[in-house]
Amino acid sequence: MLTTMFIILAITILLFVWGKYPPDVIALISMLSLFATGILDLNETLTGFSNPTVIMIAALFIIGEGLSKTGWTALAGKKFIQLAGSSVTKLLVIITFGSGFLSGIVSNTGTVATLLPVTISSAWKIGTMPSKVLMPVAFGSNTGGLLTLTGTPPNIIVSNALVEAGEVGFSFFEFGLIGLPLLIIAILYFRYIGYRFLPKNKTNNKPVDIESTLHHWIEAYKIENDYYRLRIRSLSPLIGTTIGEWELEKKFNVQIIRLKRRHPKRLKKNSKPFIEFPDPSTDMRYHDIITVKGETKDINKLMITFRLGLIPLEATRDELRHNLINQEVGMTEVIVTPKSFLVGRKVTIGNYFKRFGVQLMAASRNNKPLLEKDITIKAGDGFLVRGTWNDIELLKNQHENLVICGSPEGLAKDVDNLTYKSYIALGALLLMIVLLVFKIVPGAIAALISAGIVLITGCIPIDKAYKGISWVSVVMIAAMIPMGLALQKTGAAELIANGLVNTLGDMHPVVLLGGIFLLTTSFSQVINNSATAVLMAPIVLLAAHQLGVSPKPFMITVAVSASTAFLTPVGTTTNAMVMAAGGYKFKDYMKVGAPLLLIFLIVVLLLVPIIWPL
């Protein structure tokens, strides 16, 4: 059975290294092989899918997605980048710190996904190539995951392994005792050494961010020509009436696009600050700000008739950026296909297109804006539409009739203005931290409570939440946990632990610590860091017990070294994410990562025995 165990382990590692098949599939094959060969029974084989570690990690993905969808990660990412100015070295410091800080709160993958577009954009703006700044984002996120218990899955894995072995697990911020010094060292490394090794690869990925996209739409569709904001004054006859009573579109040739309540808290109990898509039944109140479309002469007539005040036109671009697009409502550009059922239909610009759940904001034909109000649709016509992000995404299903231009999903994630849901999502995260710090409930329950708050309050739709979970990571971890159990059951873990102890145990424990670091980091360069932690945790625990020393310094070393995949692009998802965007080659990771890895090894050997005595 021991021989069979090592064969399965070796094949699993080789498949991970080969990389032809997804890691979750490899993990499932490994798990089923353990059952098929009789090493594990049914309950043991499936134990990973009920493991608190797996449940907690899945919940953390939901919390991270909630922060992303409500604007926090985009806002934080942009603020970090804005501080860099025009200096490449300053940008390196900011993004390394920024990615490290964010990954201590949300997932490493989520951090890189958030910072990737703004980092690329900033690199182009300051006159350098993305390859000079992208690798620090990946390495910074890997290091920043060591700031908190929930920063990266290996932290949770080694802590839970301690608890299951009858030891005291790590507290929420305990990882920061080693993680913060390592992050500072990573920042200093890229500032004074690493930037010299970063290549300057030519790429053609100059991005179009939300600002430039919106400005392009404004110019291409001439939105600013008929887009106005009006305030309802105290003597306006509109106060206390509904939009439908006045037939504004018929009598004044004007459409109300959006309505903002100036003082919603003083009014009805359930009054909302914004009415995104006003209809005839929408009532109007004193100090409301209405966004309207119409020709200047019609707007002037409307203002005189109803005693309305004009908000300065200079604010229209900011209005479009910060108000017409938010976490719930967005805009996109669509093109009508030649075979579309829409061809030949008459539409009115500014009206709500109920079939698709969107509002027609503007139109163009042959790359020229259509300024008339009523349009007969022709094949190839372009429309700027506004609707909820969910309705805009559903337009993809109309590919036979409409083609969506650009990436609405990318625009949605680039929205950085905050709403009340943003603070709910942040509050849920803080609640989880409090529950974990004071150990009020187990970690998995704390994460589930916070994830539940994010879902119930609508910070993120349930279907989006499930899409936000990296099921590849979750399934892989769940399927690899039985491997750790099998290593212990067959005696393989004891054999490997004995090898470590016999080889390095007679020397100083710090030498064993170094051996564990090198073995773990070797695995992490070629297989997922979570799988590495699952494999190494039982081995290291056993080795510590055999030597009669505290397992904590050895387990913290496993967590740190599992997050040091600096030598290859396949060690972590974050490394792979920046590879294509930076035009990196395999040797680039070796050149930049090897010195940093060596520095981390030295720091771990110096600090870990002091912080967690052997």
**Higher pLDDT, residue 176 or 585:** 176
Alpha helices in 396-528 (DSSP H): 408-413, 420-437, 443-456, 462-468, 471-489, 492-504, 509-524
**Lowest mean pLDDT: which of 10-14, 311-315, 366-370?**
311-315
What does the chain come to in residues?
614
Residue 242 has pLDDT above 90, yes or no: yes
CATH superfamily of 211-322: Regulator of K+ conductance, C-terminal domain (3.30.70.1450)
Alpha-carbon distances of 9 from 64, 259, 473, 521, 540, rounded to whole Å = 33, 62, 19, 17, 17
Ranked by mean pLDDT, which of 70-84, 335-349, 465-479, 480-494 comes out on top?
Answer: 335-349
- Tokens 């498949």 label which residue? 15
Instruction: Work out the mean pLDDT of the chain and round it to a whole number.
Output: 84
Q: In this predicted structure, what is the pLDDT of residue 495?
A: 81
Position 292 scores a pLDDT of 87
- Identify the H or E element spanning 228: strand 227-232
pLDDT of residue 180: 96
Residue of 177, 146, 176, 149 lying closest to 52 (CA atoms): 149
pLDDT (tens digit, 9 = 90+) per residue, 87-113? Answer: 888 889 988 998 898 888 777 776 776
The C-alpha atoms of residue 593 and residue 586 are separated, in whole angstroms, by: 11
pLDDT at 270 over 60: no
- Predicted confidence at residue 319, as pLDDT, reads 56
Q: Please, what is the angle between helix 88-103 and helix 176-189, to 10°? A: 160
Q: For residue 151, what pLDDT is reported?
A: 86
Query: What are the residue ranges of helices labelled H in 316-442?
Result: 316-322, 389-394, 408-413, 420-437
Q: Is the pLDDT of residue 64 over 60?
A: yes
* pLDDT score recorded for residue 315: 47
Number of Cβ within 10 Å of residue 353's Cβ equals 16
Strand partners for 331: 386
Contact 600, 564 (CB under 8 A): yes
Please indicate whether residue 390 or residue 604 has the higher confidence score (pLDDT).
Answer: 604
Alpha helices per DSSP H over 199-275: 210-221, 248-252
CB-based contact 122:130 (threshold 8 Å): no
| Number of neighbours of residue 259 by Cβ within 10 angstroms | 23
Q: Which of 127, 139, 258, 251 is nearest to 188 (CA)?
A: 139
Give the CATH number of domain 329-411; options: 3.40.50.280, 3.20.190.10, 3.30.70.1450, 3.40.50.720.
Answer: 3.30.70.1450
pLDDT at 525: 82
Helix axis angle for 2-18 and 471-489, nearest 10°, is: 160
Decide if 102 contacts 114 (C-beta within 8 A). yes
Distance of CA 308 to the CA centre of its chain: 43
406 has a pLDDT exceeding 90: no
**pLDDT higher than threshold 60 for residue 267:** no
Sorting pLDDT into bands at 50, 70 and 90, what band is 176? very high
Task: Taking residues 571-591, report their average pLDDT.
Answer: 80
Asked if residue 222 has pLDDT above 80, the reply is: no
In the chain, residues under CATH classification 3.30.70.1450 are 211-322, 329-411
Residue 354 CA to residue 120 CA, distance in Å, equals 38
Q: How far apart are CA 154 and CA 150, in angstroms?
A: 9
Contact 254, 248 (CB under 8 A): yes
The token duo for 516 is 């564990």
C-beta atoms surrounding 426 within 10 Å: 17
| Residue 444 pLDDT exceeds 80 | yes
Lowest mean pLDDT among 17-21, 379-383, 385-389, 489-493: 17-21
Q: Mean pLDDT, to the nearest integer, of 479-500?
A: 81
Supply the pLDDT for residue 302.
94
End-to-end CA distance of the chain: 34
pLDDT at 560: 95
Rounded to two decimals, what is the model's pTM? Answer: 0.66
H or E element, residue 358: strand 358-365
| Confidence bin at 407 (pLDDT 50/70/90) | low
Report percent pLDDT > 70 for the chain: 90
pLDDT-based confidence at 412, cuts 50/70/90? Answer: low
- What average pLDDT does this structure show over 218-230? 75
Q: What is the mean pLDDT of residues 27-51?
A: 92
Give percent of the chain with pLDDT exceeding 90.
31
Q: Alpha-carbon distance 560 to 606, whole Å? A: 14
Residues 164 and 150: beta-carbon distance below 8 Å: no
pLDDT in tens, 177-216: 999 999 999 999 999 999 899 998 877 656 555 666 776 7
Q: pLDDT tens-digit profile of 278-322?
A: 888 999 999 999 988 888 889 999 999 999 999 875 544 555 566
Q: How many CB atoms lie within 10 A of CB 518?
A: 12
